[in-house]
Amino acid sequence: MIRQNTLSTLGRAHQALCLAMLAIAIFATIPLTNARAQDAIDPAERQRIESIVHDYLMANPQVILDAIRSMEERQQALVEQKRADIIAQLVPTLSASPMTPAFGADDSDVILVEFFDYQCGYCKRLFPGLQETMAKDPKLKVIFAELPILGPASLVASRAALASQEQGKYMEFHDAMMGYQGQLSDKIIFDMADEVGLDVEKLKEDMNAPKVLQYLAMVRSLSESMDIRGTPAMVIGKEFIGGYIPTEKLQEIIDQARAEG
């Protein structure tokens, strides 16, 4: 209900904006003899013009809808252009950091970047298909972009995962947490770390290093610049994919990126 009320409020705001813009356009056609002539418009004349605008829009509501649609299309085009600009620099930016977890061929012809959260159900649903694809495609490189957005446990998990690289155990730890079904807690995270052979005390020390939080802030900034609003989100080649996709579709997009070079 809150979402419906919010959407209704936004809709009324859009309508009000369109009405105001049309009214301004009509007033702009009135001949002015000096800079203050508009202020001198007779109140009755102003009311008559406003009435004309109102009656016209009530009789032609499609004008409002067309204006809203046009504005939304322009806004979406701006978002997509900004995202394309960020995508062009995404892999070089992430690859420039020694903290970026990346796996696959050094001579890869397709790079997949996955923004994910260890507590994201759809990320976990994507995980087996991504594993399968990585195993079958020797020319694919995958970059894991840690994006902990689902609470404190997600942040602990991402910090611990990044720190596990100091012990050469990122992928084992990553697989364990992605395969875990249920809500994470600090205890569960560190128990899994121990199970995959990590020195937990060293892990806790390493995950508190300032560079870990700085790196996560950088990834968060990139995600915001790309207007990523949830996980999983992927960039495959030059294409952005928001949300879960089945394994077959994933491979199809990879093949298309490969064909496009």
pLDDT score recorded for residue 29: 46
Residue 164 lies in a domain: yes
Domain endpoint, select from 38, 60, 82: 60
pLDDT score recorded for residue 161: 98
Which domain does 27 fall in, by range? 2-60
Quote the tokens at residue 131.
Answer: 């594993």
Residue 197 lies in a domain: yes
Mean pLDDT by 10 residues, the chain (261 residues): 41 50 48 50 78 78 76 73 82 94 91 97 96 94 97 98 98 97 96 98 97 97 92 94 94 94 75
What's the whole-model pTM score?
0.71
| Distance from C-alpha of 57 to C-alpha of 29, rounded to nearest angstrom | 18
For the chain, give the longest Cα–Cα distance.
84
Residue 84 lies in a domain: no
Domain endpoint, select from 60, 79, 110: 60
Residue 31 lies in a domain: yes
Indicate whether 97 and 220 sit together in one domain: yes
Alpha helices in the chain (DSSP H): 2-28, 43-59, 62-95, 121-136, 152-163, 170-179, 186-195, 200-206, 210-225, 247-260
Residue 241 lies in a domain: yes
Residue 231 lies in a domain: yes
* Total of domains in the chain: 2
> For residue 104, what is the domain's CATH number?
3.40.30.10
pLDDT score recorded for residue 40: 60
pLDDT score recorded for residue 72: 76
